[in-house]
Amino acid sequence: MAEGTETRVPLLDLEIVKKVAALPFGWKVSGFKTKKILRDVAKGVVPDKIIHRPKAGFGAPYRKWLRYDLNEMWNELTSEASVRKRGWYDYKALQDARARSQAGKDDLYMLQWVILTIELWTRRFIDRNPAEVLFAL
| pLDDT tens per residue across all 137 residues of the chain | 455 555 566 677 889 889 989 999 988 888 888 888 888 999 999 999 988 888 777 778 999 999 999 999 999 999 999 999 999 999 999 999 999 999 999 999 999 999 999 999 999 888 987 676 566 66
Residues 130 and 92 in one domain: yes
Residues 125 and 69 in one domain: yes
Does 56 map to a domain?
no
What is residue 60's predicted lDDT score, i.e. its pLDDT? 85
Does 44 map to a domain?
yes
Residues 105 and 39 in one domain: no
What are the CA-CA distances from residue 49 to residues 38, 44, 45, 55, 85 (Å)? 15, 12, 12, 12, 52
What is residue 59's predicted lDDT score, i.e. its pLDDT? 78
Residues 118 and 81 in one domain: yes
pTM across the whole model: 0.59
The DSSP H or E segment spanning 93 is helix 91-102
What is the domain extent for residue 86?
A: 62-136
What is residue 8's predicted lDDT score, i.e. its pLDDT? 63
Residues 71 and 104 in one domain: yes
Give me the number of domains the chain comprises.
2
Instruction: Please tell me the distance from the alpha carbon of residue 136 to that of residue 102, in angstroms, as a whole number.
Output: 36
Does 57 map to a domain?
no
Residues 69 and 128 in one domain: yes
What is residue 11's predicted lDDT score, i.e. its pLDDT? 73
Residues 124 and 76 in one domain: yes
